[in-house]
Each structure stands twice: as C-alpha cells, then as structure tokens.
Amino acid sequence: MTVAVLGFGAGCGTAESTEPAAVAGGRVITRTAPTSEPPAPKAEPTPKTPPTPKSVVPTTTRTVVEYQVIPFKKKTVTDSELPKGTKEIRTAGANGSRKLTYAVTYLGGKQTGRKLVRQEVAKQPRSQVTAVGTKVEEEVESGCDPNYSGCVPIASDVDCSGGSGNGPEYVDGPVTVTGSDIYRLDSDDDGVGCE
C-alpha cells in the first residue's frame, strides 16, 4: 500500500497516487488496490440428496363371494302297482348351491392370496325319486282257456279229440287242469284230461 502525506501550503511535495486521495485529519491518504486477487469464497458443501424412496404399491384385501353347485342325488323305489320294467319320476331332482366367502389379497391390482373364510349351504338340493314297477301281469293267450295248461280253446263245449264228444271244439291231450274242469276233460279226476 502506498501512503502519501501532503502538507498544506507552498512548496510541499506530492506523491503520485493511482487512486483518488482521501483527506483524513489534514493528511491525504491514498490506497493502492492489492495486486493479487482476493481468495475465492469457500464453496458451500453440496448437501447430499436423500435416496428417493421406492414407490410403495398398496396392498388391498377384498371379500369375494362365489356359489358352487351341489348336484342332486337320485333315489329309486319300487312300486307294485306299476307294470314291471316301467319307470316313473315321482319327484324331480333340483340342484342346490353352496356359498363360499373368500378374503382375496391384491398387490398393485394383481391377486397374490386367497383364503376361504366361510362356507354355508345357500340352497339344499332335492333328491330325484324314480319309481320302478314290479307288477307282473299274467299273459292270457288269446282264445285259450286259463283253466287248462296249453291251449284249450274257449267255446260252448270242448271235447277230447278222438273221443265220443260232439264238440264243437276239440283238443289233443293230455292237458293239465289248473283251475276248474269246466269242459269235463278229466273224467277220472287225476288232474290230467284227455289222456
């Protein structure tokens, strides 16, 4: 730094100055700027950015209700009033249903878990009942008298072929009497006629 002191009055010497002089207490003080640059201010430390938290995907739980079919059962009963081999549905079957309640977990809209919470029968099934006939109907041969085995014709009178009877119908023997001997074919009452 260069300092010049100037006196007031004639004959006083002066010193050159590169800056305007400042007057302080009757003296002129000049200052020369320092030749070196002032030190740069210290850089503030850059604060560390906290790590960005990973985006948290929400987990949700929903209650889901489903229904499951309970198939009906089939039962068969016999009926002696129905002809043998005949089938008849007495009660129509109906399916039931079961209610299933689940707790379903989702992560970001995608299902990740499923747990059965409760189950109950919503509708009872109804069994189907089918009746099967067992009645055996006796077949009567057309034109044959049921009182005799084989076929003895039905007529006003039947006689044994080759005998002394006058008909109008005849039968070749022997025939077995199974009921009443209405044509008197069994003359000796041994159960066999036209011997």
Query: What single letter denotes the amino acid at residue 107?
Result: L
Please check the confidence at residue 191 and state whether its pLDDT lies above 70: yes
- For residues 95 and 71, give the distance between their C-alpha atoms in angstroms, rounded to a whole number: 5
Lowest mean pLDDT among 32-41, 66-75, 93-102: 32-41
The overall average pLDDT reported for the chain is 79
Q: What secondary structure does DSSP assign to 52-108, as a single string?
A: PPPPPPPEEEEEEEEEEEEPPPEEEEEEEEEETT-EEEEE--B-EEEEEEEEEEEET
Q: Where are the domains of the chain?
A: 1-35, 59-135, 139-195
Residues 93-149: pLDDT tens digits?
A: 999 999 999 999 999 889 999 999 999 999 999 999 999 999 887 655 467 888 888
Position 4 scores a pLDDT of 46
Q: Is 122 left (phi over 0), alpha (psi -120 to 50) or beta?
A: alpha
- The highest-level CATH class for domain 59-135 is mainly beta
What pTM does this model have?
0.41
Asked whether the beta carbons of 90 and 128 are under 8 A apart, the reply is no
Position 3 scores a pLDDT of 45
Overall average pLDDT of the 14-36 stretch: 52
- For residues 183 and 156, give the distance between their C-alpha atoms in angstroms, rounded to a whole number: 9
pLDDT band for position 157 (cuts 50, 70, 90): confident
Position 30 scores a pLDDT of 55
pLDDT band for position 163 (cuts 50, 70, 90): confident
